[in-house]
Amino acid sequence: MTANRNNVHVVQRDNGWGTLREGGQRATQVFDTQVQAIQAGRQMAQQGQGELLIRGQDGRIRARDSYGNDPCPPKDAKSSGWISRRRIGRRRASAAYRPASPAQASASAGGSQRSRVS
């Protein structure tokens, strides 16, 4: 797989935080704070219509933003977020499986057994 030179990584360096083009070895710019590096990296990614990948102190990707040809676009606006799907599922489950009081549970259990027998 070839490196996309439009993608910009924000990485920690010995003397601060740097912006690095994908596939490159040297940082294009070095900043004192990660926030400054993110701002500069965002501008670089927008100009090149690439992707901004923000790495934490441990080197793992902690956030990413796409500014152009998105490799994984959302299917539609309604189902694009996992949080919205999770909330919908939780709402349906809570309405259908609401716990009953012990008195209601025993009464409904007895009533359902009688209806099955007849």
Domain edges within the chain: 8-66, 82-117
Q: Read off the tokens for 14.
A: 């010995």
Residue with tokens 């993608």: 7
Residue 8 confidence (pLDDT): 95
Phi-psi region of 40 (alpha: psi -120 to 50; beta: other; left: phi over 0): alpha
- Model pTM above 0.75: no
Q: Which residue has the higher pLDDT, 58 or 95?
A: 58
Please give the share of the chain, as a percent, with pLDDT higher than 70. Answer: 57
- Among 18-22, 82-86, 98-102, name the most confident range: 18-22
Sorted by sequence, the CB contacts under 8 Å of residue 38 that are 6+ apart come out as 10, 52, 54
Q: Has residue 1 got a pLDDT over 90?
A: no
For the stretch 7-63, pLDDT in tens is 999 999 999 999 999 988 899 999 999 999 999 999 999 999 999 999 999 999 999
* pLDDT score for 3: 74
CB of 48 within 8 A of CB of 37?
no
pLDDT tier, 105 (very low <50, low <70, confident <90, very high otherwise): low
The owner of tokens 């008195």 is 103
